[in-house]
Chain A
């Protein structure tokens, strides 16, 4: 399936390559660079590129391109999904997946790639198994290794998980403090039109877990209002039939961090929009224009909205902005023409606002349309959809774990058209 993988940094260097079948010279990437040259921005590079004998499938994340080369028909999503999985694994191992970290840990990277794919087909992808096969870098271990002169990053035995029916969980887990934390995170995607009407608002939710439980715990998580969740994707550990019949999540969790479910609450349900903005953006011939934005609370359910920030991409003809915000700081990137206003917390009694002048490049026609405003915010201790965890039960182990649930709502792709 996947023949070769090239990792390319933002300046166009192929700094790592791995082949699972016959070697394909990295000059194949020239086709990719050609497409990259045509694209306006890194995101615009088409994910699938056909060359005379090969097909290049690429993903772009964290300023790195992962380019996979295939030679025959293959489901493209298979490859793309797998590339993302590789990226996630690197991130899991090195906390950040960037050119520096990959170069720093290139041996582990190479061992991982060798273990994840065999003949271009996925072999061991579950993080729990990989971590048993190849130990992640760890500060303490490197010290002991240096002192003792031993250096064993790889395991001599096959992880038992690989053979069991719960391949996602490693065996022999032991903790002195048994803990299970659940983060219910919801992101609101919305488009709000000029008049302030909601064109579309959807919620994308995740339940991310941090499970540190000894042995083989069997957990059951139930919700007060499970009916809200009708469009879910599960981690493979979740027993689908139990969900179908009883609407409870029953699972033997992997060890450590993982995403239990992600769900989508579509536009057909009403989704509350926590904030509104009032805006007045005008360009005038010659002088420039006015820019004025005020943010106000709409449906915040009594919670404090934090970490508000605005991002406004301006057209190329805008030269600069001189603004005065009532709170927070603003920056304008004169190259990318992006205005960022870091608002911070919102005090409902004093609405944050920003106003000032736009200066336009002389000689250019004034822009016809106003920019869209992207907004970010977060509200803690609340899930906007109203989903609530009812209880968590554990079977199969005797100890009493410490359990915790946290709710958070934040903006996903939250746009105001102006």
Chain B
């Protein structure tokens, strides 16, 4: 005992000396004293036990720390179990915590003793402190002793109902633990999971889904009711939960929705406006993010919801989240939308090398199927000498897959520099990559071949060997003769020592011996000489060569052949002996057999060329982003992604108590309410302030936002009141005629445009609220709806008056906005745009943003010949599109030159670049012979000059057409003062500035024609200037992103200097080009 206490003192001393460790654990400190006595492990345990049995907390803590040190190191500390387990009741929190850690580690080995601690946990489960409750449950469930599984079950069931979400989260984690311990409890656990899935807090969601995935992934039916909630919560769930949820959703989508990539499903027969409306409403409720609105196939709204809600996650800082969204898009999104993930994946390539490795492997698989997706990012896959080898190889793989006729020269140049790498494995892989490029792209095969032949004189043997092998493959594919190459290779047999390469050369010579009749026998002679020293693989090829030579040129080589066969007969390797026996019988038979006659046919049959393809070709059988995909092997627990069902299962299962239509009602009310507010209320500005406040709080509803939400709910009450009164006014009209929905549509769009930003986000928060908090009784709502809508239409129309006014005046239309309804159809809107032209010319000095000059030039969209009588021309109206301010309005003039009336003309399938959108024109029911009509459509070109490709369908035929907007049409005029202009121009110096000089033709050097010319080219606005007349400035913004575009033209007698400033360099340069060409034209 005395010696014990002495040592205890020693421990304490050690602590004082090394205070930062807080312990005297030998292996972990530099303190020589403590490490000295700790090295005699066996006896020291007695000492630890004594410390634990004492009643001083700090001694216990020291002891526990040392024990944990042993656990951490992986040393066996199980014999201390009885001493430790007693301390589970310790009041000291840290001691307790460390005891917990110890318990979870050793309970499995000391089951009987572990049971002693259970009652403590059971008591702790009732503790008022949520942290203690949670950690008790955590430890209890981590004790892997089958006997306590009923206790665990009870504890879990209780914890699921706990007030604290933290405890519920812990319960979710405990479920898989219990399941792995006792699989028979599954049924009960599934019930618990079902309860947890209904939890509304973001904290629990991720863990609940994880439990679901581990215990009952096949019970997809449990998800239905929670699907929409999960989608909406997703953004706020913590990162790790997001990964799990998105993973589960991928599987869900694959079982519950139909493939978005099938051809032409649901394209026709669907009312244009109806589908439009659905889409729109969703768009407005969820977020004001631009996404292609319409698909030729009608996507399930829930499917769309999933895709939309996951898209923001691509901006997550967590690579795993980005990857999971990427695989969701890869497996579940329409082809045209998958492109959005490329950028995010490329960003991940800047991460740690392990992240790069996984991401590159996935990209490699994706490039096999969708090359175009990553083509733009080619340079991101260029290899640095500092990359680890496995990353280099993956990048090489991707580069090869991305090679096309257009970029092959760049890629080849890049590959050339890799060949000289000091990393030999990589250099060899590069040569293979060149071979693959050469075989895939016929144009460059010859270049590659000569390059490879050049490489054969490389000093490095592995490079040479690899090139020989690749050349062999390439020659085999080529039909043309390459006598020189074969000759060259034959000469190299002496120098090359790598067996594989030698074998390849011999095979080549044997195969094409008639092309090099002089050399081949010589090679055989040399080989016969060195036969015994060769590697097995080379020997086999020598035999092959000898046999083939003997057939084609038996006069010269028969003896040689016999000699080789004799040598082979006594070889050590049985393969070689077998081969020689077989060939001898075939070629030099003792008696003429039936086979010998066909020897030539057998040996010199034309062989199929090898196919060089990506190693990742077959990886797409695995779901992207999985472990199985990385290992290219099915891992334990991997389940194949199910195929799309032929027909979608009943979507209504996802409806929660509050069905969707009701939400819509609520929404339209709400929308109107806000509208009303801004319309009727005292001051518009105040309401706007409010809006922005609300918006800033929309994502998280913490205490601060309470005020706002209160206000909001007030608003809602208001709106409800109002609505009620309306209800009483208007008799019920349950079936509104379908036609009526048409006029309704336009105002809605109109409105959303005018107050796009405030209203949409606000609506969102409100609609969410209404969904969750105040579900009004269903019957009432559904009755309300139709009446409401007609009313809303009227209401909207009056509102619209205001809008028209705004809209009209901004377009220079005086009061000729027409009747209320006139704006409602796009074709009428086009009529209005014509009005605008006249208006503009009369009030050109007006300060409003308006088109200054409308080009009358129209372009051919569809020739009457190719269109079978249907001719379409289009022109840019330069009005602000009624559909979205980001869209370019285009007026189509359709003329039927044919002999029979056309009917059902509408826009068909669209193939758009990512970010582009088309607002179609309404279907033209019929177009008589010789008749012509104008319709308005709008395209968001996303500030690119890429063509928007789509189809025009008539009932009988479809025509593929494309519209390309000249860069000047992608702009909208922007008002600007001179000072502002110069300031902005100053900011856009340098690379964003493009300058050019043109000589003006005499008759066009005056101020007016220069201005007109510029305005003809581009939809800009002249900046009023006070200075000398020789500098003309114009300003505009791009349609979709609102990037500033500034043009200044300074005229100097007969020449003009044009300066274009724009952040988007493409736009800048193209605009300059257009300006130059038009100004120079006489």
What residues of B have a CB within 8 angstroms of the CB of A315 in the complex?
422
8 Å CB contacts to A: which residues of B634-649? 635-639
Residues of A within 8 A of B (CB): 1, 14-19, 21-23, 26, 40-41, 43-44, 46-48, 50, 53, 55, 57-61, 70-78, 80-82, 84, 103-107, 109-111, 114, 118-119, 121-123, 125, 137, 139, 142-143, 145-146, 149-158, 162-167, 189, 191, 193, 199-200, 202, 204, 216, 218, 224-225, 227, 231-236, 239-242, 244-245, 250, 252, 259, 262, 264, 266-268, 270, 313, 315, 365, 367-369, 371-372, 374, 395-396, 413, 415, 417
CA distance in complex: A417, B898 (Å): 64
Can you spell out 15 A-B residue pairs with CB atoms less than 8 angstroms apart?
A47-B354, A55-B631, A84-B352, A139-B20, A165-B236, A224-B987, A225-B987, A227-B1043, A233-B316, A241-B287, A266-B343, A266-B377, A315-B422, A367-B422, A369-B420
Binary contact track B335-352/A, C-beta < 8 Å → 1, others 0: 000000001101100101
CA distance in complex: A140, B72 (Å): 27
B385 touches A313 (CB 8 A): yes
The reply to whether the CB of B659 lies closer than 8 angstroms to some CB of chain A is no
Binary contact track B665-689/A, C-beta < 8 Å → 1, others 0: 0000000000000000000000000
A73 touches B105 (CB 8 A): no
A245 touches B20 (CB 8 A): no
What residues of A have a CB within 8 angstroms of the CB of B202 in the complex?
165
Q: Which residue of A lies closest to B390 (CB)?
A: A46
B129 touches A156 (CB 8 A): yes
Binary contact track B53-87/A, C-beta < 8 Å → 1, others 0: 00000100100010011011110000000000000
B1043 touches A76 (CB 8 A): no
What residues of B have a CB within 8 angstroms of the CB of A216 in the complex?
702, 704
What residues of A have a CB within 8 angstroms of the CB of B164 in the complex?
158, 163
CA distance in complex: A53, B626 (Å): 17
A73 touches B1043 (CB 8 A): no
The reply to whether the CB of B386 lies closer than 8 angstroms to some CB of chain A is yes
Assuming the A-B contacts A50-B633, A264-B346, A264-B347, are A122 and B240 also in contact, with contact meaning beta carbons closer than 8 angstroms in the complex?
yes
Question: Which of B105, B142, B352, B389 has most A Cβ within 10 Å?
Answer: B352
What residues of B have a CB within 8 angstroms of the CB of A22 in the complex?
108, 144
Q: From residue A166, how far is it (CB to closest CB) to chain B in Å?
A: 6
Contacts A153-B22, A244-B288 known; 20 new A-B pairs at CB < 8 A: A16-B73, A21-B180, A75-B324, A75-B627, A110-B68, A118-B138, A121-B210, A146-B19, A156-B93, A193-B417, A200-B380, A231-B343, A233-B316, A241-B287, A262-B317, A266-B343, A266-B346, A367-B422, A369-B421, A369-B422
B101 touches A114 (CB 8 A): yes
The reply to whether the CB of B591 lies closer than 8 angstroms to some CB of chain A is no
Binary contact track B142-181/A, C-beta < 8 Å → 1, others 0: 1010000000000000000000111001100110110010
CA distance in complex: A137, B141 (Å): 30
B20 touches A104 (CB 8 A): yes
* Size class of the B contact interface (CB-based, 8 Å): 35 or more
CA distance in complex: A48, B557 (Å): 54
What residues of B have a CB within 8 angstroms of the CB of A245 in the complex?
288, 757, 761
The reply to whether the CB of B319 lies closer than 8 angstroms to some CB of chain A is yes
The 7 closest A-B pairs by CB, nearest first: A369-B420, A72-B637, A158-B131, A47-B354, A43-B388, A122-B240, A165-B700
Assuming the A-B contacts A14-B74, A232-B315, A239-B699, are A266 and B20 also in contact, with contact meaning beta carbons closer than 8 angstroms in the complex?
no
Assuming the A-B contacts A107-B23, A413-B384, are A199 and B379 also in contact, with contact meaning beta carbons closer than 8 angstroms in the complex?
yes
Contact of B15 among A146, A367, A369 (CB under 8 A): A146
What residues of B have a CB within 8 angstroms of the CB of A70 in the complex?
627
The reply to whether the CB of B1021 lies closer than 8 angstroms to some CB of chain A is no
The reply to whether the CB of B16 lies closer than 8 angstroms to some CB of chain A is yes
CA distance in complex: A245, B202 (Å): 24
Binary contact track B388-428/A, C-beta < 8 Å → 1, others 0: 11100000000000000000000000100100111000000
Assuming the A-B contacts A50-B633, A137-B20, A268-B376, are A73 and B382 also in contact, with contact meaning beta carbons closer than 8 angstroms in the complex?
no
Interface secondary structure of B, over-half rule? helix
The reply to whether the CB of B749 lies closer than 8 angstroms to some CB of chain A is no
The reply to whether the CB of B1013 lies closer than 8 angstroms to some CB of chain A is no
The reply to whether the CB of B98 lies closer than 8 angstroms to some CB of chain A is yes
Q: From residue B702, how far is it (CB to closest CB) to chain A in Å?
A: 6
Q: Which residue of A lies closest to B357 (CB)?
A: A47
8 Å CB contacts to A: which residues of B92-118? 92-94, 97-98, 100-101, 105, 108
B350 touches A77 (CB 8 A): no
What residues of B have a CB within 8 angstroms of the CB of A163 in the complex?
164-166, 203
What residues of B have a CB within 8 angstroms of the CB of A48 in the complex?
357-358, 627, 630-631
CA distance in complex: A268, B378 (Å): 10
What residues of B have a CB within 8 angstroms of the CB of A244 in the complex?
287-289, 312
A227 touches B1041 (CB 8 A): yes
Binary contact track B797-816/A, C-beta < 8 Å → 1, others 0: 00000000000000000000
What residues of A have a CB within 8 angstroms of the CB of B346 in the complex?
231, 264, 266
What residues of B have a CB within 8 angstroms of the CB of A236 in the complex?
238-239, 316-317
B240 touches A165 (CB 8 A): no
Question: Which of A60, A78, A80, A153 has most B Cβ within 10 Å?
Answer: A78
B22 touches A145 (CB 8 A): yes
Q: From residue A87, how far is it (CB to closest CB) to chain B in Å?
A: 9
A149 touches B58 (CB 8 A): yes
CA distance in complex: A225, B123 (Å): 60
CA distance in complex: A232, B627 (Å): 27
The reply to whether the CB of B25 lies closer than 8 angstroms to some CB of chain A is yes
The reply to whether the CB of B134 lies closer than 8 angstroms to some CB of chain A is yes
Assuming the A-B contacts A164-B702, A233-B347, A241-B699, are A73 and B459 also in contact, with contact meaning beta carbons closer than 8 angstroms in the complex?
no
A17 touches B72 (CB 8 A): yes
CA distance in complex: A417, B413 (Å): 13
The reply to whether the CB of B1035 lies closer than 8 angstroms to some CB of chain A is no
What residues of B have a CB within 8 angstroms of the CB of A146 in the complex?
15-16, 19
What residues of B have a CB within 8 angstroms of the CB of A395 in the complex?
696
Q: Which residue of A lies closest to B704 (CB)?
A: A396
Q: From residue A96, how far is it (CB to closest CB) to chain B in Å?
A: 14
CA distance in complex: A23, B23 (Å): 26
B382 touches A75 (CB 8 A): no
The reply to whether the CB of B243 lies closer than 8 angstroms to some CB of chain A is yes
What residues of B have a CB within 8 angstroms of the CB of A151 in the complex?
22, 58, 61, 94
What residues of B have a CB within 8 angstroms of the CB of A199 in the complex?
379, 382, 414
Question: Which of A23, A109, A153, A165 has most B Cβ within 10 Å?
Answer: A165
B315 touches A110 (CB 8 A): no
The reply to whether the CB of B1 lies closer than 8 angstroms to some CB of chain A is no
Contact of A121 among B100, B173, B699 (CB under 8 A): B173
B635 touches A72 (CB 8 A): yes
The reply to whether the CB of B355 lies closer than 8 angstroms to some CB of chain A is yes
Q: From residue A18, how far is it (CB to closest CB) to chain B in Å?
A: 7
What residues of A have a CB within 8 angstroms of the CB of B169 in the complex?
123
CA distance in complex: A1, B320 (Å): 14
Q: From residue B828, how far is it (CB to closest CB) to chain A in Å?
A: 31
What residues of A have a CB within 8 angstroms of the CB of B69 in the complex?
106-107
CA distance in complex: A189, B350 (Å): 10
Q: From residue A199, how far is it (CB to closest CB) to chain B in Å?
A: 6
Q: From residue B800, how far is it (CB to closest CB) to chain A in Å?
A: 24
Q: From residue A99, how far is it (CB to closest CB) to chain B in Å?
A: 11
A76 touches B203 (CB 8 A): no
The reply to whether the CB of B460 lies closer than 8 angstroms to some CB of chain A is yes
